[in-house]
Structure 1
Amino acid sequence: MSQQDLQPAAAATAATAGSASDGGIGNMTYEQREQLREIFDTMDRAGRGFIPTSKLGDILKLLGLGKPSRDALQNWAVEIDPSGTGRVDYGRLELFVSLRYDEADQRQEIMDAFRLFKPDAKEIEHARITLADLQKIAAHLGEHIPEEELREMINIADVGEAGGVNLVDFTRIMRKAGLY
């Protein structure tokens, strides 16, 4: 079989990976779903088909999605268990976790985009995109943008008026623009 013969099959495989047709929800990989199922089954020792919503924080931490705040956990418990039973089945949990993975992916993409402006920043959370950064990027792209326009861009995005655009400002602007 030639490489050309394999291309349509590879494209079809890539198109269905992680889709609902293979039991997937959202952008969760097979391995992520498998790990979630293992965690769920471990917490559901009695085999009743549900676990306490109070375990959400532990689950997210075990999956590498961080430790959420108490407020976030309370909001999510209401979201995942609107009737207030204090428990969640695997289907609802998988949907909930897939949304958390999507959020984590978006955060990473935004941070990667921010790093394009601040490639040397050691602590990206404290970095600021300045006028000089915008001028450097514009020059690199071969664009001549008047300094006044670049200043206006900074002023519009810099909510805290600290002389530059931090990651929070950048995230807000990117989401407002519909890019994330």
Structure 2
Amino acid sequence: MAESNNSKSDYSSSVTIKSTSPTTTRRRRRWKNMDKKIRSELTSQDIRDLRDVFDAFDREQHGFISILDLRKALRVLGFRIKRNDVYEIARDVGIERLGDVSFSEMLEVIISMQGDSRDEYEEISQGFKMLDTEKKGHLSADDLLKAAETVEIKLTNRMAQDMVYEADQDGDGFICLNEFIDVMRQTNLYN
């Protein structure tokens, strides 16, 4: 019996319990609470698509992005947001460390920005206007390349040309607002 006590105490002294920081605990708790809301607001495909956007800005694969990268990601998704507003929105959803935004926190921000009455056409139109920086009323492959460069997404000239070709319904070599809306409504973000 003495041996079993020794081996028991040896075992318990060799086990290390990893402590969890209060921030990590709050994030886990928030994710559990948010998980139901996320599933009710976003489809699994939406979440996968948004994960791709998040990963594009999480260049070092740490699982976090900066608040400025959050703003860039939101702009890519068609949200109009000023630099100062992103800090306020982040605080509103409970992001405590503004330089440290997790994927679930980004989803919280997106859901809070969508609001209860989501106007898909307005969201898509805003995205189009952001890409149409010269206010020409249409998008070219060059416009797509400039937008990709702005948010540091790798896009080749061929890829941009293919995107225009796929969206261009009238054969003029450009994407007009209606064509842009049609393409965007076919994506999982709007289904």
TM over 0.5: no
Which of the pair has the greater relative contact order for Cα pairs under 8 Å at 6+ separation? 2
Structure 1 length-normalised TM: 0.40
**TM-score, length basis structure 2:** 0.38
